[in-house]
Structure formats: structure tokens, C-alpha cells
Amino acid sequence: MSDAEFPGIGELMPHDGPMRLLSRVLGHSPESTRCELAVAASALFRDDAGAVPAWVALEWMAQCIAAHGGLVALAAGRKPPSGVLVGARSLAVTETTFGCSDNLTVSARFLGASGALVSFACEVEEQGRVVVQGVLSVFVVDER
């Protein structure tokens, strides 16, 4: 699929306004999704020096999971579901902050599910270098 074939981020998840942190979907398959983000969109989380703390990457990864869930649901003729981030494990972070001019990619790869609890291996990349990675678990709440 080309970029033009993917729905806008706003159609894939409930996040809106300053909480919509992803820019667009770059790639998708039934097993994984890759998105782009401009760190400047995370202005709500800037510290006093104007940088965005690395812990915000958890939200970037969770939103990539939401985009993935939205794409999978739309492909099946359903509405994108809502979900809640419930945990992260094996988290590795190599940066402490990100500059507002940074453009990053974030990916989520489906690992498995147990009922409404789903797990994804996620990564955040800066210029092809993995700077954050971990396994996130999300509880799918409902279909909107």
C-alpha cells in the first residue's frame, strides 16, 4: 500500500488534539504497522528546555498499536476499537530526550493475544537507529 491508501491517523484511533502524536501510517500488514511522528507534535510533554522526555515513547508506541488495531478492524469491516495500555516489559531506552525537530518512526508487531489482552513488540527509530524498544500489553476495551 502507498501512503495515500492508508486512512488518516484520526480515523484509526480515538486520540485527538494535542494527544494525537503520530503523523501518518508508513506501512501495514496484518502482523505489524509502522508510523511516522514529528516530535514537535508532542509539545504537550516538552520539558523546560523544550525537549520531549524519552518516556513519552511509551505513548508513541501505544498509539502505533492503536493505529494497527484500527487498520485491522477497518479491513474486517468493523470500527476501530478502544484500548488501554496496561504494561510494558523488556523496555530499553538509549536516549533521555528527543528534540522538537526530530522525526521518528515507530513500529508495532503483533505477538499474541489472550482474550482482550494483546501484546506487541514495539520500536522507535531515529534515522534508522533503534532508540526505544519494548513489549507493550494493551487491553482492548470495546469497539466504538
Q: Does pTM top 0.85 for this prediction?
A: yes
Burial of 12 (0-12, 13-18, 19+ CB in 10 A): buried
23's CB contacts (< 8 A; 6+ apart) are 9, 35, 36, 37, 38, 41
Q: Is 90 a residue whose pLDDT tops 70?
A: yes
pLDDT at 4: 57
pLDDT at 50: 86
139's CB contacts (< 8 A; 6+ apart) are 83, 84, 86, 116, 117
